[in-house]
Homo-oligomer: A and B are copies of this chain.
Amino acid sequence: MTARGADETRWLSQEEREAWLAVVALMIKLPPALDSQLRTDAGLSFFEYMVLAMVSEQPDRSLQMSDIADLASASLSRLSHTVTRLEKQGLLVRHRVPGHGRRFRAVLTDAGLEKVAAAAPPHVMEVRRLLIDDLTDHELTVLTTVGRRVLGRLAPDCPA
């Protein structure tokens, strides 16, 4: 970010730099804030919550590993480690899909369902407090469209 001699780098303008630093700061600080709230109120990390929440939203309380990874924006490897931990806590069980031997589904246990159900209300409240509630409709739209545009540019296969 430091200006050098006569190269062709298009350095960021003052406004661009400020926008970028704001995005970076958010990127760094938001996850720990969410982790902290969920850890305190429900004993879950944000990522663990996301996994449980995505599965809990399915009609049969179950979801294929690779689909969870997509929905939670995570690598299959990260997901696998996390599901192993959740399984040890009895919140989830892994199940081979009959007829599709390579595929595994994670199925929420009753304990898992109770856990998400208890975690969700305070979490949603925090998400509202931190971000959603102070957004105008227009800001909400901008956030959605900009977010999706960037995601689309992020290497289709870059899961991590």
A residues apposed to B, CB below 8 Å: 1-2, 4, 7, 9-12, 15-16, 18-20, 22-33, 36, 50, 53, 56-57, 72-74, 116-117, 120-121, 123-125, 127-132, 134-135, 137-144, 146-151, 153-155, 158, 160
Contact = CB atoms under 8 A, between A and B. Distances in A.
Given A9-B124, A33-B155, A73-B29, A147 B19 contact: yes
B30 A150 contact: yes
Given A22-B151, A23-B131, 17 more contacts: A2-B56, A4-B117, A9-B121, A19-B135, A19-B140, A19-B144, A19-B147, A24-B50, A28-B31, A29-B151, A29-B154, A32-B158, A33-B154, A33-B158, A130-B154, A135-B146, A139-B142
A93 B35 CA distance: 33
Chain A interface, DSSP helix/strand/loop, else mixed: helix
27 contacts: A1-B53, A1-B56, A1-B116, A2-B120, A4-B120, A9-B125, A10-B124, A10-B125, A12-B124, A12-B128, A15-B137, A15-B140, A15-B144, A19-B143, A19-B144, A19-B147, A20-B127, A23-B131, A23-B143, A25-B151, A26-B27, A28-B73, A29-B160, A30-B150, A33-B158, A129-B153, A134-B153
